[in-house]
Chains A and B, each alone.
Chain A
Amino acid sequence: MSTPQDPAPSVSLRGLTKDFAGATVVDHLDLDIASGEFFSLLGPSGCGKTTTLRMIAGFSDPTSGTILVGGEDVTCVPPHKRDVNTVFQSYALFEHLDVRGNVGFGLRRKGLDRRALDQRVSEMLELVELGDRAKEKPGRLSGGQRQRVALARALINEPKVLLLDEPLAALDLKLRHAMQAELKAIQREVGITFLFVTHDQDEALSMSDRVAIMHNGVIEQCGAPEDVYERPTSVFAAGFIGTSNLMSGTWSAGCVCVADDLSIPVPGHRDSAEGDTVSLTVRPEKIWLSDLTPQMFRVTGTIVATSYHGATTQYVVSIAPDLTLTVLEQNLPQMRSDDRWHSGDRVEVGWLPEHTVVLR
């Protein structure tokens, strides 16, 4: 069902701005989402991601800026005339209609004849595996099933872009993981552009082609999941996704002096001048506690806390006064519990220089 790549992006935002009572919620957003892309807007609550979604859907008028859908300017087009559909956080199902009536609602508005409509609704119910619940009222469905009805009701219209507003937030953890995989598979199958809003980093990383991290109304960083995780560019991006060992210090002779007597070399970094303050980060799982190699940057420290997480063990290592590193170690099959480190142990930690990431 995949269509040839549309040259025009599905969604383009140009200088999109929204002010609420004097506060700027979305601040000059520029964004292009390619056709067929699974794109996530990730950020804490209040970062402006839902407001952005509502402006694209047409429920909220931008203060300034332009919204293009499929290359057409829709900034002043009312929601019912936009080629965009939404999966709402509350699902917003029509309780007076059965599953079939809900799913067929959009096409009936478009005046599709009864036979074609029935055919399309049946296909869509097959896709979301709800064929046997077609005659049920939404009130009799489970949370996961309601979610699928909401998805089918939006997808059946084959919009240029499907907007999803934290659609999995109301589901329990197990169901959420199952739905993540399913949602991704469905998106691949129908080839429709998904714009997915979430505050859940796992969701964003595991499902998306690209992720934009949003904070205070601006996009902090935008890129493939590996990029935003492995190479965060800002302190906020590094801190928001995963656990980060944030350090900062003065730039001097190719090193960042993060504490007295502790300088971390950053080979290849040329953007800072002598004396600048530079922030950097290392992901906890990139730091080694044993099997250190000569290429690694090494530093000695003391274990101050340990916590066991099943698959991993997390250590907090003090490497200087007021400076600790969080280290995540896999609990490998050959390891016994007495192999693990304990609080108070002196250890040497190290990581490869390329895992030191400089932040703006």
Chain B
Amino acid sequence: MARARKLERKPVFAVAVTAVFFAWLYLPILAVALFSFNDKKSLSSFGGFSVRWYDDLFHNDALLDSLAASLKIATAATLGSLVLGTMLALGLERVTSRRGRVIGAVTLLPLVTPEIVTGVAALLLFTGIGLKLSMTTVILAEITFSIAYVTVIVRGRLAGIAGEVEEAARDLGCTPFQAVRLVTLPTLVPALIGAGLLVFALVFDDFVLAFFTTGVDPQPLPVRVYSSIRFGVSPAINAIGTLMLVASALLIIAALWVPRLFHRGSSSLDLITGGDRR
């Protein structure tokens, strides 16, 4: 009996660790959100509720330009890496040779390469070939960096689809190209949404690559925030942080709910969270 009772005891320690973990993770973020509504300029004492920093933000053209630049960069990098990464995944899935498997492994290298190396390499490449640093160079660098993430996620999903599915499509009258278009790609949609969200989030707030490859104007948001901090922190940065937080929360909710609206059994986020697998 004593032993059974011991097993049924509440896992106090695990609950405590989890609580500390969440506090550690989210209290600073909550502080940012709270102080974005601070009436005072202070980052340590709260002087009453106000939206003056939001007002400030919406009149700060430089910051707004940077926000727009970062959204453009993230969108372009997401689309570019989705196309290239999916093509790469589809291609790698079809090679069985030893050389093909080596190439498959090499595509994963950007995941483990220190970003600063990728950044310096991109910078050297762009200046070496005489490409003027601009938003285009940031996008090119970010696409290069993101392809690996897309490929990993899409290949994971492809491995879960029976190899016979494409054959079934061909058996039912599809040319090889139609089989990919009508069956493989639609089956991959949840994976593509998941990969797209991940890449968008990674690129949107990526600092290192953006810092090395950006031109003068408009700077991507993380670079702008970093350089403005050197001249003293404006609570407008708290405001922009809070807006980004809300936007990403909305994105996650959308990612959870949109597949449900289409009566999909599983959500695209399951690919990231590991969700309920069949």
| Neighbouring B residues of A97 by C-beta, 8 Å | 186
| Neighbouring A residues of B178 by C-beta, 8 Å | 80, 109
If A80-B173, A110-B173 touch, whether A94 touches B165 (CB-CB below 8 Å) is: yes
- Which of A58, A78, A84, A88 is within 8 Å of B168, CB to CB? A88
If A92-B164, A92-B165 touch, whether A79 touches B170 (CB-CB below 8 Å) is: yes
A153 to B172, CA, bound (A): 8
A80 to B164, CA, bound (A): 14
Instruction: Confirm or deny: B5 has a beta carbon within 8 angstroms of a beta carbon on chain A.
Output: no
Render A80-100 as a binary contact track against B, CB cut-off 8 A, 1 for contact: 100011101111111111000
| Neighbouring A residues of B172 by C-beta, 8 Å | 80, 85, 105-106, 109, 153-154, 157
A244 to B253, CA, bound (A): 65
A93 to B278, CA, bound (A): 15
Nearest CB on B from A137, distance (A)? 6
- Which of B164, B173, B265 is within 8 Å of A137, CB to CB? B265
Q: Let me know if B173 and A94 touch, CB within 8 A.
A: no
Q: Let me know if A79 and B167 touch, CB within 8 A.
A: yes
| Neighbouring B residues of A92 by C-beta, 8 Å | 162, 164-165, 167-168
How many chain B residues touch the partner (CB < 8 A)?
Answer: 23
Instruction: Confirm or deny: B183 has a beta carbon within 8 angstroms of a beta carbon on chain A.
Output: yes
User: Please, which residue of chain B has its CB at the minimum distance from the CB of A135?
Assistant: B263
Instruction: Confirm or deny: A140 has a beta carbon within 8 angstroms of a beta carbon on chain B.
Output: yes
Q: Let me know if B186 and A96 touch, CB within 8 A.
A: yes
Interface extent on A, as a size class?
A: 20 to 34
User: Please, which residue of chain A has its CB at the minimum distance from the CB of B162?
Assistant: A90
A109 to B183, CA, bound (A): 12
Give A94-130 interface residues, CB cut-off 8 Å to B. 94-97, 105-106, 109-110
| Neighbouring A residues of B265 by C-beta, 8 Å | 137, 139-140
Q: Let me know if A59 and B167 touch, CB within 8 A.
A: yes
Give A325-353 interface residues, CB cut-off 8 Å to B. none
Instruction: Confirm or deny: A57 has a beta carbon within 8 angstroms of a beta carbon on chain B.
Output: yes
Nearest CB on A from B177, distance (A)? 11
| Neighbouring B residues of A58 by C-beta, 8 Å | 170
Instruction: Confirm or deny: B225 has a beta carbon within 8 angstroms of a beta carbon on chain A.
Output: no
Q: Let me know if B187 and A96 touch, CB within 8 A.
A: yes
Nearest CB on B from A30, distance (A)? 25
> Which residues in B have some Cβ–Cβ distance to A below 8 Å?
161-162, 164-165, 167-175, 178, 183, 186-187, 189, 263-266, 278
> Which residues in A have some Cβ–Cβ distance to B below 8 Å?
57-59, 78-80, 84-86, 88-97, 105-106, 109-110, 137, 139-140, 153-154, 157
A88-B167, A109-B173 provided; 12 other pairs, C-beta below 8 A? A78-B170, A79-B170, A88-B162, A91-B162, A92-B167, A92-B168, A96-B186, A137-B264, A137-B265, A139-B278, A140-B265, A153-B168
